[in-house]
Amino acid sequence: MNLIGRVIMAFMPITPKALVRFFSRRYVAGTELHHAIKVMEDMADEKTSFTVDVLGEDITSIEETRRFVTEYQDLIKAISTSNIDAHISLKPTAFGLDIDYDYALSTVSDLAKLASSFDIFVRLDMEDSNHTESTLRMTEDLHKMGHRNTGVVLQGRLFRTMGDLERLSVSLGPDADVRICKGIYLEHPDIAYTGYHDIVRATSAAVSKALDLGMYVGVASHDHPVINSAIKSLDERDFEFPGQDPREPAPTKRKGKGNGYEFQFLLGVRGDVRRRLASEGHLTRVYLPYGEQWYEYSMRRLRENPGVAWHVAKSVLFPWTNRR
Active site residue ranges: 125, 179
At 96, the amino acid letter reads G
216 touches 249 (CB < 8 A)? no
Instruction: Report the b/e string of 224-249 with b at 16+ CB within 10 A.
Output: eebbebbbebbeeeebeeeeebebee
How many Cβ atoms are within 10 Å of 324's Cβ, its own excluded? 18
d(CA 87, CA 284): 13
What 3-state DSSP class applies to 295? Answer: helix
As a whole number of angstroms, the distance between CA 264 and CA 295 comes to: 23
CB-based contact 212:251 (threshold 8 Å): no
Q: CA 97 to CA 84: how far, in whole Å?
A: 30
CA distances (Å), origin 22, targets 126, 277, 295, 304, 312: 27, 29, 11, 20, 10
Hey, which residues does 88 pair with through a beta bridge? 52, 122
CB 115 within 8 A of CB 73: no
Surface-to-core class of residue 304, CB atoms within 10 Å of its CB (0-12 exposed, 13-18 middle, 19+ buried): middle
SS3 content of the chain, % helix, strand, coil (to 5): 50, 15, 35
